[in-house]
Chain A
Amino acid sequence: MKLRLCSRGDLPTCEVRRFELADGRAVALYHLEDGFFATDDLCTHGEASLADGEIEDGRIVCPYHLGAFDIRTGKATDAPCHIPLKTYPVVEIDGELFVEGEKVEG
């Protein structure tokens, strides 16, 4: 099922924001020049929220140890990060942004 994040006007270009989904995960939504992208918000190196990091050249730089990931592919680009980040396709319907998620139980 599709999980709504926000309206496209809510997130200015070159910014990132964290969303907690109904199924318990947290995703980071990014607005780049060529569109919206989403990844897990949790860094794969430690317990850091990537939405607290800075966007630099299409990468999200983690605030804790300055490791980084490619926002579009999730690939780890800078040490100490080496495990890739899960990415989510972002779907836009009538100006609203959604990611695919599992149905919430119960």
Chain B
Amino acid sequence: MNAPHRWLQNNPGLGDGPIPVEPYISPEYYKREQEKIFSKVWLCVGREQELPKAGDYKVKRLDAAKTSVILMRGKDMRIRAFHNACAHRGNTVVTETGEETFGASKAAIVTCRFHGWVYGADGALKLVPQESNFYDCFRKEDNGLAPIHVDTWEGFIFVNVAQTPDATLAEFLGEYAGHFAGFPFDKLSYEFTYRTYLDCNWKVAHDAFAEAYHVETIHAGSFPNAFCGGLENVKLMGPHRTSAVCLTLGATPTAVATLANSLAQGSLVAVRGESMLPPTLNPDHRPNFAFELSVLFPNTLIHVSEGIWFTHQFWPMGHNKTLWEGRYYVAPPTSYSQRWALEHAMTLQRNAWLEDTATMEDTQRAMESGAKPFQNLQDDEILIRHGAHVVDTYVNA
């Protein structure tokens, strides 16, 4: 039996009091988060694998940082990042078709469709139609795309829209980077993605995924008696945090799940091996270790397990509107039966995510009623407590 208050004992600085609801419902608080967090820290915006060839690009909207970022791989194979804004009369250079817009250019250029200004993958303004009609004070050299700081870690692409970031990406990640170093993110490349808009604050979405307390109740349908072991190995690392989620051993899987699990490593609800885990994960070799649940501040959750990794991202679009993106990765199937087994795993996971997201808008509406100005957290909700604490520290810095 674990001590019921062990995480508080390890982290007394976080306190044990109730957590205010104000930061979840206040438009004013959200403005400060935009300014002090999303316009200042490193944000994970994709994987290098999404841009395999020279000239491949992706534009991602970052409402919370009030811009859209073009990520483009140059002929030198380097990925650079720019604001999607034209130096002529301010149009978007790449016409966006949604939250993410993908494109490829053999010439490694992007062209503004308004008047045809052409920019290279290095950001330089390469061509202005009827250039001689502009006046002498206009210099092409001074009118390239506005760059955004970009860096990578373990194949993840990060941007920082600050003029001068307070920290390098490596400094920002700190101990978190080492915790996951060596996990084969690249090899587990078979992906499925769900995304939707939710009428809730981004922290409501974050919190719903940052604990395992909800599993026995809300996932009784998709994951019956699966993860009732609570959290283990909680580690708070600067603004980031991580923990292990454990399985309930001995629960009997359904017949179809048993078959699927025998064919491919796609489902979290199965006894997991450890061959892919860096030594920092499940250090005590618990036999019931299911997956590592970590929060990369501010809005990315990275989970890893033997043969599986998945992320949740919460992109604020207002104080009570959030774009949620869930991505799940496994090894590419090598046979039709494996393909089927992975479909089964993905469908299970999708059902669970539907159960998770289903509470979020209800939570927001009830919070906005003002009836309950505080929330009460138990010891296994330490990641939420830490999150609230970190956000508040940034916002009031």
Could you list which residues of chain A lie within 8 angstroms of chain B, going by C-beta atoms?
45-49, 52-54, 63-65, 80
Question: A47 and B126 in contact (CB under 8 A), knowing A64-B111, A65-B116?
Answer: yes
CB of B118 within 8 A of chain A?
yes
Interface 9-residue window, one of B101-109, B180-188, B271-279: B101-109
- B129 in the interface (beta carbon within 8 A): yes
User: Which of B105, B107, B108, B118 has most A Cβ within 10 Å?
Assistant: B107
A62 nearest CB neighbor, chain B only: B107
Shortest A68–chain B CB gap in Å is 14
**Which residues of the partner chain A approach B126 to less than 8 Å between Cβ atoms?**
47
| Known contacts A64-B111, A64-B127, A80-B129; is-contact A46 B118 (Cβ 8 Å) | yes
* Residues of chain A within 8 A of B107, CB atoms compared: 48-49, 52-53, 63-64
Q: How far is the CA of A52 from the CA of B56 in the complex (A)?
A: 13
Q: Flag if A63 contacts B127 (CB, 8 Å).
A: no
Task: Tell me whether chain A's interface is mostly helix, strand or loop, or mixed.
Answer: loop
Say whether, besides A52-B106, A64-B109, A47 and B129 are in contact (CB < 8 Å). Answer: no
Give bound CA distance, A53 to B104, whole Å. Answer: 11
B109 touches A63 (CB 8 A): yes
Interface size on B, residues (CB 8 A): 11
In the bound complex, residues from chain B placing their C-beta under 8 Å from that of A80 are: 116, 129
The docked-state distance in angstroms from the alpha carbon of A49 to that of B126 is 12
Residues of B within 8 A of A47 (CB): 126-127
Q: Which residues of A contact B106 (CB under 8 A)?
A: 52-54, 63
Which 9 A/B pairs are nearest by Cβ-Cβ distance?
A: A52-B107, A63-B107, A46-B127, A52-B106, A64-B118, A65-B116, A47-B127, A64-B111, A63-B105
Q: Which residue of A lies closest to B108 (CB)?
A: A52
Complex: chain B residue closest to A48, CB-CB: B107
Bound-complex Cα distance A88 to B370 (A): 77
Chain B residues in contact with chain A, CB under 8 A? 105-109, 111, 116, 118, 126-127, 129
Contact residues in B for A64 (Cβ distance below 8 Å)? 107, 109, 111, 116, 118, 127
16 A-B residue contacts at CB 8 Å? Answer: A46-B118, A46-B129, A47-B126, A47-B127, A48-B107, A48-B127, A52-B105, A52-B107, A54-B106, A63-B105, A63-B106, A64-B107, A64-B109, A64-B116, A65-B111, A65-B116
Neighbouring B residues of A52 by C-beta, 8 Å: 105-108
B116 nearest CB neighbor, chain A only: A65
Return the chain A residue nearest B131 by Cβ.
Answer: A46
**In angstroms, how far is the closest chain B Cβ from the Cβ of A70?**
20
Residues of B within 8 A of A54 (CB): 106
Most buried by B among A47, A49, A53, A64: A64
Tell me the complex Cα distance, A54–B105, Å. Answer: 10
**Which residues of the partner chain B approach A46 to less than 8 Å between Cβ atoms?**
118, 127, 129
Starting from the known contacts A63-B106, A63-B109, A64-B107, 4 additional A-B residue pairs (CB-CB under 8 Å) come to: A46-B127, A63-B105, A64-B109, A80-B129
B129 contacts across to A, CB distance below 8 A:
45-46, 65, 80
A49 to B118 alpha-carbon distance, docked (Å): 13
Query: Of all chain A residues, which has the CB nearest B128?
Result: A46
Shortest beta-carbon distance from A97 to chain B in Å: 22
Q: When chains A and B are docked, how far (Å) is the Cα of A47 from the Cα of B109? A: 12
B212 to chain A, nearest CB (A): 51
